[in-house]
Amino acid sequence: MNGRRILVTGAAGGIGTSLVAELLLQGARVLATDVDESGCRLLERRIGGRPEDGRLHTMPLDLTESGAPQRIVDRAIDRLGGLDGLVNNAGVEHRAALAEHGTADWTRVLEINLSAPFRLARAAAPALAGQPGAAIVNVCSIAVTGFAGQAAYDASKGGLLSLTRSLAVELGPLGVRANAVCPGFIDTPMLDASGLRGLAEKVAARLPLGRCGHPEEVAAAIVWLLGTSAGYVTGQALFVDGGMVRA
């Protein structure tokens, strides 16, 4: 990853922070964005290194704002000197029974989890095209398999996986790969916020690996898919779930 220029969304969360740290460790240059402005500042303090080295830039941004995806792509190109990779990691969850699932919640989840990645990929494609090893990685979820009580989240992640495959077919001739990572139960603040930690730990105990995953393990999968070692991998979904979803 040395010298590669990567745009990461959702960078202030558990997986995002681990991903940015790993990318910097491997020599990448990163523009990290998140709707959480204080989270972006914390990211800079924790893992940014020296500001003068120019390898980490942050930009707080709500990706649902009009024109936001194009602005962040333009900022990445300006600050990093180009673009080699895009990681669509930003996401939100909403749990409710179908009868209680409001239209506003449905729209919000799909806007962040599906529409924003579409717009970002569309904005980034011209810069990625022709760059050696250019790649897009979309962070999906085991929710692509379908769970009760989270219709919007499951639909958004299923749609994101289909978008990934479409991007792989359309952008492949331009030299751009597109893949998805589908995490299972990962030990992050989002798991706590969902109220599912107790359930997750019970389910995880019955998995082949017998535990919840760590954000660093998801980050490692993303970095692999961004790198040249995965140069012949595109249109794929890599499940990082401890064996929860088995062929």
Q: Annotated catalytic residue: which of 9, 22, 153, 190?
A: 153
Q: Is 27 left (phi over 0), alpha (psi -120 to 50) or beta?
A: left
For residue 23, the SS3 value is: helix
Q: CA distances (Å), 5 to each of 56, 63, 121, 155, in order?
A: 10, 20, 15, 31
Contact status, residue 177 vs residue 234, Cβ threshold 8 Å: yes
Dist CA 154 CA 152 (whole Å): 6
Torsion over CA: 236, 22, 48, 78 (sign):
negative
Look up 153 and say whether it is catalytic.
Answer: yes
Catalytic positions, written as ranges: 153
